Amino acid sequence: MVTTAPDQTLNILHLEDSLADHDLAARTLRRSGLVFQIVQVDSVTKFQHLADSQPFDVILADYRLPGFTALDAWAYVAQKPQHPPFILLSGAIGEAAAVDVMRLGIADYLLKDDMARLPHVVARALEVHEARRAHDQAVAELAASQRRLAELTEHLQLSIEQERASIAREIHDDIGGALTAVRFDVAWIGRHSGDPEMQAHAASAAEMLQHAIGASQRIMMNLRPPILEQGLVAAVQWLAAGFERRTGVPARVRSSSDSLHTPADVQLVAYRTAQEALTNISKYAQCSKVEIDLSDKEEVLTLEVTDNGRGMDLQQARDKPKAFGLKGLHERARTVGGWLDISSRPGHGTSVILSVPLTSSPSPTPSGDVQ
């Protein structure tokens, strides 16, 4: 028995030139308890008109009709984005022909000699059609969600960089200036004091202030490094030199040229990628050398950061809760139309590769950057 919702009436279009066969199909469906309305047509013109003007839940079609076949009708219906399931209901067409029509996307076929199975075939076709529709809708919703997530990620990254630039300006203009002024005053007090103990305290305070000034400069450089104004190669070399000083691990930078002409937003993404990669290496890699390669050949910027450390299990790294570093790098790459590849295995080091297609015209400097 075919089951439908209590208030659901199926609309069926029947392409059939034999009234006897049409009546038999209708009686068979009615005996199953199906609530339906069925319209019979026997010409391609009427079929096309009805298919265009009315919504149908199921289409039944004889294989051979005067002047055309069910395949002609299917070709017309198949081009519609939300077409109903199409069932071939015919006499003997041969097994090979039946297989061919199923490959074309027709929902099912049934021989007229087996008409008693028509309610079951219709029910199955409707179930498959509904499952496919639900799947397509889920895929479309997932794609839309991913697009919204990508847009949100891009917005967040831009907001983060703008906020970093704003904080860097405040550190430079307010905190840095204030610390420098206080250091000069403390030094003046030390020079004009005749008390040795006062001079010692002033010298100690001046030293601490100098340390604070240096720390504020390092923080400012990490927030929005002015060295990016000298180009990506110089900025990455500065990162590598700082990494080598802190860790004692040699970091070699190779570039296809001394100056890579890349848009400002791409430069920033590449810089942050190198920065995050070196941070992860210093924390986890336990390596003895690091190599950084930069190239803009074939209109693609490529940044590769490789170490010879202990490596990692990539699947475990992806599944690790709060593993936002690697996820963040992937999202950063997407914001400029690029992609990130990470290759690693335990005991054989890690390689982080950023690839970004370059356009002929550079992008404008993101708003909020420190000039």
- Does residue 361 register a pLDDT over 70? no
10-15 β-sheet, strand order: 36-41, 10-15, 58-61, 86-90, 108-111
> What's the whole-number mean pLDDT along residues 341-360?
89
- Average pLDDT, stretch 201-228? 83
Residue 323 has what pLDDT?
57
The predicted model gives 87-93 an average pLDDT of 82
If asked whether residues 125 and 253 sit together in one domain, one would say no
Q: How confident is the model at residue 324 (pLDDT cuts 50, 70, 90)?
A: low
Please state the domain count of the chain.
Answer: 2
In a shared domain, residues 122 and 17: yes
Burial of 262 (0-12, 13-18, 19+ CB in 10 A): buried
pLDDT tens for each residue of 105-115: 888 888 888 89
Q: Are 86 and 77 in contact (CB under 8 A)?
A: yes
- The predicted model gives 193-215 an average pLDDT of 88
pLDDT grade for 13, boundaries at 50, 70 and 90: very high
Nearest to 228 by CA among 219, 237, 217: 237
pTM for the model: 0.54
C-alpha to C-alpha distance for 85 and 126, rounded to whole angstroms = 7
CB 365 within 8 A of CB 355: no
CATH number at residue 80: 3.40.50.2300
The whole-number pLDDT of residue 368 equals: 40
pLDDT at 365: 40
Q: Can you give the residue range of the structural domain that contains 39?
A: 10-138
pLDDT, the chain, mean: 85
The answer as to whether 102 is a domain residue is: yes
Residue 152 in any domain: the answer is: no
> Confidence class of residue 318 from pLDDT cuts 50, 70 and 90?
low
Q: Does residue 25 register a pLDDT over 90?
A: yes
Q: CA distances (Å), 204 to each of 198, 317, 335, in order? A: 10, 46, 48
Cα–Cα dist 300/337, whole Å: 11
Q: What gap in Å lies between CA 37 and CA 18, rounded to an integer?
A: 18
81, 112, 138 - which closes a domain? 138
Show which of 75, 106, 138 is a domain's final residue.
138
State the pLDDT confidence band at 8, using cuts at 50, 70 and 90. Answer: confident
Contact 59, 84 (CB under 8 A): yes
d(CA 327, CA 149): 13
**What pLDDT, in 10s, does the model give residues 237-254?**
999 999 999 999 999 999
Range with the lowest mean pLDDT among 107-116, 139-148, 206-215, 318-327?
318-327
Per-residue pLDDT reduced to its tens digit, 267-297? 989 998 999 999 999 998 999 999 999 999 9
pLDDT at residue 271, rounded to an integer: 92
In-domain check, residue 116: yes
Q: Are residues 130 and 245 in the same domain?
A: no
Find the radius of gyration of the CA atoms of the chain.
36
